[in-house]
Amino acid sequence: MLSRLFTISFLLLLFIGSSFGQSKKELLIYGDESFKNKNYVAAAYFYGKIIGSFASGEQDRVYPHGFSAWNRPLPKTEVADTSDIKSDSTDTEEKVERELAETVDSSDTSRPAQAFKGNESYQRAIYRLAESYRLSYNYLKAEAAYKKCQYLDFMVYPLAQFWYANSLKKNMKYGMAQQEYNDFMKKNRGNPALDTLGEDFIKKARKEMGGCRIAVNLIGDPVPGIKIYKADSNINTGSSNFAASFYNSDTIILFASARPGSRAIKNSDSEASSCDIYHSAKQDSAHWFDAKNFGNPINTVLQEGSPFISADGSKILFTRWGGGEENKDCHIYVSRFFNGQWLQPQKLNDNVNIPGYKSMHPYLMPDGDILIFSSNRPGGRGKMDLWYCEIDDFGNASSPINFDYMINTRENEVSPFYVPGSQSLFFSSDGHAGMGGHDIFESYGALENLGRPQNLGVPVNSSRDDMYFILNENETSGYMTSDRAECVDCETGSCPAIYAVDYGPPKFTLSGYVYSKLDKVVIPNALLTFKDVSDDYEPFFIVTDENGYFFTPLRRELTYYIKAQKVRYFADARTITTVGLTKSTDMVKNFYLPKIPIGEIAIEGIYYDYDKWDLRPESETTLDSLVYFLNVNNNITIELSSHTDDRGQENYNLKLSQRRAQSVVDYLIKKGIDIERLTPVGYGKSKPVIENAETEEEHQKNRRTAFEVLRQDYIKINKKK
C-alpha cells in the first residue's frame, strides 16, 4: 500500500504539469533560502508544495534560531513501558500511510513513478524535502520522503539511501534499516561522490548496522529497576524543554525552555521564542509548580541553556548562544551569587571559549575545582568532544584536557555528568554504537583513566535522541531529556522534553581482605587489579587500606579476573561475575598471598628417561601448573635450574642438567611465557640437597628441577615489528 501511495504522489506531479512553471521556481527559491537559513520546517513547506505532499500547519512551526545547531532531541513512547517497544513497528508504517493518503490524490495511476527521474528540479526538491524533514526531526515523514528518493541518481545524491536507513532506524525499523545500510555500502563502495563529503559514510553505515543489532538486544533485555516518566506540563510546555539540573535541592530543578513568555530574538526571517533558563519546584511525586523564568541578568535577548549550579550554590554556569548573523558564538558563562543576587555573567576565558567554536554543557565537580564541558574546539577527536580543566573560584580556567579515544569518537559527545562517589561519567553520544541518535552512556573510573562506555540500555535509551542525564547524590533518581514521545504543542516533528528517572538498577559490590597465607595476617597496601575478561573495558586498580580491606562497585553483565599482589609475596587470583544477576548483590571474597621464600622452590613431578633430557608426557601436566602460576605472577623473573645426583662424571652431568633445564624453558616459552623471564641453569651435581647420598631415595631428591625468584618488577614491553 505504501509503495502505491508513493506512485500516486509522483503521478500527481505529472498531472499538475510536466513544465516547471514560474510559481514552482519561486517556491524552489523560497525553499532553498529557508534551507540555507536552517529554517527546515519552512523549507519543508515550500518543497512540499512543489512535490504535492504538504501537510497543513507545518509553516507555523519554527525552532528557536540556533537551537538545532547544538541540541538534538526527539519522540517515541510516552511512558517507558518496554513491552510496547518493537522493532520494524507496523504502527509507524500505518501512520505514514495515513499521512500520505491525506495529502496525495490517489485517483491517477496512469504513469509509472520512474517518470519522476526525468526532471532535475523535482529531484532536487524531493531530496531537499526529505532533508528538511530529517533536519527538523520529523522522522516519520523523512522516512517516506527518502523512500521516494530511491529513484534518484545515487551518483548525484549518494547519501539518500544512507539517510533513508537512518530514518528507518529512528522509527525503530531495525531490520529494514540494516538491509538499507548494507545495500548502501555495496552500492557506494568506490563511489567518487562520497569521497568529496569529508566523512567516511561507509564506516558510519557499518557502525549504524552494529547499532541496530545492539538495539534489538537491548530492547529484548531491559534493565530492571529503572522507570522513566515525562514531567508534567508545568515543566514541558512550548517547543523545547531540556537540560534539567538540581537547584540546591532534589526537589527544585533548573532547565532550559523555549516557550511563550521567553524573550524574543528578531532577525530578517522570523520571530521565534528564545531559550531561557527556568526553575520549578515539586508539589508532589508527580506534579510541579509553575515554572518561573530565572530572569536578569542570566536570561537575555540571546539564548541560554544547559544551566548548572555549583554544589555550594555560589555559582551558576550555563551556555549562551546568539541569534542571527551578528552573534554566532556558543559559549559558557559563569555568574556568582553575591549579597542576595546573581551578578552579571562573565564569559569563561579562552582556555574554554575559543571565538568561532562552540563550548557548552558545563558540569562542575562538587569541590568546584574541575569543569567538564563539550566543545568542537581544535585538538579534539571528532565534532563535539568532552574536555575537562581546572577552574578557580573566579572562573579562571586552565588549559583543557581532551578525554581519550575511549570516550570521544569522530562524532558528537555531549552533556557530561560525573558522580564522584561511584566514579561514573554519564554522557550522550551519537558516535558510539547505539539505538539511534544520541544514546546515554556510562563510563567508570577516574577522569584520567575512564573505561569503555556502556550503553545504559532500555528504558533509558530509545531510538531517538536521549541526553542530559543527571542523578541525585544518592544515585536513586534524576532527570534526562528525550524526544521519544509525541509532541503535544507541535503539529509535526519531535520536541525535546524532560523526563524524571527512578534509578534503581541492580548494583553489585565486592569487598574483602588480603591476608598472608602462612599466618593469616592482613596485608595493607596490597594491589588488586580488576580486568574485564572480554577486554571491552580498561583494567582498574585498588589498594587495600591499613587493615588490608578493599571495596569496589562492579559493573552489570561483566566477568572480572581479579589479582591481588604485594612485594615479597606471590599473587592470588580468581574470577568474579555479575553476568545473569538480576538483584543487587554484595559479594565478599578474600585473597591469600604466599610469602616468597629465599632460595629455590622444588618442582615436583618432572621426570626424564635415563640419560635423556626430553620431557616425559606426565611432566607436562606439572609444567602446565607452572605456566598458570607464572601467568598469575607475571611480574616475576625466575631461574629455572636442573640438578643431577652425584653419580657420573661432573662435566657430563653439567651438560645433561643444562639441557634438561633448557627443555623446561622451551616448554614454558611454547606456552606463552616470555623468554626474558626465564633463565635456564644446569648445576649438575654441584648443589645436592643431601650430601653423600647413599640410598636411591636420597639420590632421587638430589635429581630435581627447581626455580628461584630473581626479580619482582618485570614489565612486558611490546616490541614493534
**What are the pLDDT digits (tens) for 258-282?**
988 776 543 333 334 589 999 999 9
- Residue 553: what pLDDT? 84
**What are the pLDDT digits (tens) for 424-443?**
999 999 999 899 999 999 99
Strands (DSSP E) contained in 156-251 are: 226-230, 240-246
- Residue 349: what pLDDT? 95
Of 50-59, 424-433, 647-656, the range with the lowest mean pLDDT is: 50-59
pLDDT of residue 16 exceeding 50, the answer is no
| Torsional class of 494: left (φ above 0), alpha (ψ -120 to 50), beta (otherwise) | beta
- Residue 612: what pLDDT? 79
Residues 112-127, mean pLDDT to the nearest whole number: 70
161-195 b/e (C-beta count within 10 Å ≥ 16 → b): bbbbbbbbbbbbbbebbbebbeebbeebeeeeebe
CA distance 406 to 132: 33
Stated as kind and residue range, the H or E segment containing 277 is strand 275-281
**What are the pLDDT digits (tens) for 58-90?**
333 333 333 333 333 333 322 333 333 333 433
- Residue 107: what pLDDT? 30
Q: Residue 235: pLDDT band by 50, 70, 90 thresholds?
A: very high
Strands 271-273 and 275-281: unpaired
Residues near 375 by beta carbon (within 8 Å), at least 6 away in sequence = 352, 354, 357, 358, 359, 360, 384, 385, 387, 400
Report yes or no: 70 and 329 within 8 Å, Cβ to Cβ: no
Residues 5-15, mean pLDDT to the nearest whole number: 33
CA distance 592 to 570: 9
- Residue 410: what pLDDT? 92
SS3 assignment, position 487: coil
pLDDT of residue 456 exceeding 70, the answer is yes
Q: What domains are there in the chain, each with its CATH number?
A: 2-220 (no CATH), 240-476 (2.120.10.30), 508-593 (2.60.40.1120), 601-711 (3.30.1330.60)
Q: Residue 99: pLDDT band by 50, 70, 90 thresholds?
A: very low
**What are the pLDDT digits (tens) for 317-340?**
999 998 555 556 899 999 999 999
SS3 assignment, position 94: helix
- Residue 534 burial class via C-beta count within 10 angstroms: exposed 0-12, middle 13-18, buried 19 and up: exposed
pLDDT of residue 376 exceeding 90, the answer is yes
CA distance 96 to 439: 25
User: The pTM is what?
Assistant: 0.70
